[in-house]
Amino acid sequence: MISHPGSKIRGGGVVALRVCVLASGSSGNCIYVGGNDTHVLIDAGISCKATTERLAALGVDRIDAVCVTHAHEDHKSSLGPLQRRLNAGLYANSETVAELEKHAKSTGLSWQRFVTGNAFPIGSLKVDTFSVPHDCKEPVGYLITEGERKVGIVTDLGAPTELIRQRLKPCQVIVLEANHDVDMLRDSDRPWPLKQRIASRHGHLSNHAAGELLCEVAGPHLHTVFLAHLSRDCNRPTLALHTVSEALRKKGLSHVTLRMTYPDHASDVVDV
Task: Write the pLDDT tens digit of every residue in 187-206.
Answer: 999 999 999 999 998 889 99
In which band, very low, low, confident or very high, does the pLDDT at 186 lie, cut at 50, 70 and 90?
Answer: very high
Q: Any idea what the CATH number is for the domain that residue 57 is in?
A: 3.60.15.10
**What is the number of structural domains in the chain?**
1
Residue 183 dihedral angles phi and psi, to the nearest 5°: -70, -40
- Report if residue 75 sits inside a domain: yes
Note the pLDDT tens digit of each residue in 128-177.
999 999 989 899 999 999 999 999 999 999 999 999 999 999 999 999 99
Spatial distance between the Cα atoms of 62 and 234, rounded to a whole number of angstroms: 36
Indicate whether 13 belongs to any domain: no
Whether residue 9 is contained in a domain is answered as: no
Domain for residue 65, yes or no? yes
The pLDDT of residue 258 is 98
Model confidence pLDDT, tens digit, residues 68-93: 998 887 889 899 999 999 999 999 99
In a domain, 7, yes or no: no
Give a yes or no: residue 146 inside a domain.
yes
Average pLDDT of the segment spanning 21-25: 96
Which three-class secondary structure state does DSSP give residue 106? helix
Average model confidence (pLDDT) for the chain?
A: 92
Average pLDDT over residues 41-55: 96
Query: Which range of residues forms the domain containing residue 118?
Result: 18-266
Residue 3: band (very low, low, confident or very high) from pLDDT cuts 50, 70, 90: low
Cα 153 from Cα 155, distance rounded (Å): 6
Position 272 in a domain: no
Question: Does pLDDT of 251 surpass 60?
Answer: yes
Note whether residue 242 is domain-resident.
Answer: yes
> Per-residue pLDDT averaged across 195-218, rounded?
95
Provide the 8-state DSSP code for 206.
B
**For residue 75, what pLDDT is reported?**
84
Give the amino acid at 157: L
What does the alpha-carbon distance between residue 25 and residue 22 come to, in Å, rounded to a whole number? 11
Query: Is residue 199 within a helix (H) or strand (E), and if so which, with residue range?
Result: helix 192-199
| Pick from 218, 42, 210, 60: nearest CA to 128 | 42
**pTM of the shown model:** 0.92
